[in-house]
Amino acid sequence: MKQPSTIEVTTRQRIATVWLSRAGSRNALNEQLVKELLGAFDMLEADHEVRVVVLRGRGDYFCAGGDLKWMNGGDELPVELHPATWLSRLFARLYRFPKPVVTVVHGAALGGAMGLVAASDFVIAEQGAVFSFTELKLGLIPAVISPFVIKRIGEFRSRKLMLSARKISAEEALNIELIDYVSEISTLEKQLQNLCAELMQGAPLATQACKQLIVKVAASVMDDALFDYTARQLKTIQQGAEAKEGIAAFFEKRTPAWEK
């Protein structure tokens, strides 16, 4: 894999941290950054040692959204190569990623960055961070992020924030469940560490199966086919080595192998 220039990836104690590293451009999402993020997620999915992925940004902002120079240059491109399609692929990849993803927001998350936020499993924001759907102020619409934002916070909260394009604080973002935690700078790293440790208490394959289950069920009709699917999923997992080890550890009052 070619050495990336717009991201940095570090791994420590089974936690991989992906840093957006276009600080001079406030980590705006351009073609190279999007492609390097997609490549990093492919690599981290295949790395069986990695249990949790953390997404962060270098510089003053977490992410200022889509790079307008890149997005404005796509008029002559077919739709499959258009910047909007690349962004949509990125958010869908993050949403479906089989391992827990924790995004840490500092400074600001604007426009397209809200897709990264909404598609993550957990979001921690520094106190003082701000969030805004800025698209309408530019004559654009928050199209490719909308499936993830609306699923996360609901239709009418999305209307209020997308149509007004106003900035909201981390505290307000927490109140509407756009994010999950607000931390002071002095305590953020400890909170992140504690959350990652909590996520790694679950069995690795069961955690991935659980994420896939949630995505499937959330998009399904409540009918007999869905109920049969969930029963088959539980039966399959229950017959696996992880479940046998977890149940044995419970009865033997010991730590399961994956926590050692």
**pTM greater than 0.85:** yes
Q: What is the pLDDT of residue 1?
A: 52
Q: What is the mean pLDDT of each run of 10 residues along the chain (260 residues)?
A: 87 97 97 97 97 98 96 83 95 98 98 98 98 97 98 98 98 98 97 97 96 96 97 96 96 93
Please give, one letter per residue, the 3-state secondary structure of the chain: CCCCCCEEEEEECCEEEEEECCHHHCCCECHHHHHHHHHHHHHHHHCCCCCEEEEEECCCCCECCECHHHHCCCCCCCHHHCHHHHHHHHHHHHHHCCCCEEEEECCEEECCHHHHHHHCCEEEEECCCEEECCHHHHCCCCCCCHHHHHHHHCHHHHHHHHHHCCCEEHHHHHHCCCCCEEECHHHHHHHHHHHHHHHCCCCHHHHHHHHHHHHHHHCCCCCHHHHHHHHHHHHHHHCCHHHHHHHHHHHCCCCCHHHC
Domains present along the chain, CATH in parentheses: 7-199 (3.90.226.10), 204-259 (1.10.12)
Q: What is the pLDDT of residue 97?
A: 98
**Active site (catalytic) residues:** 135
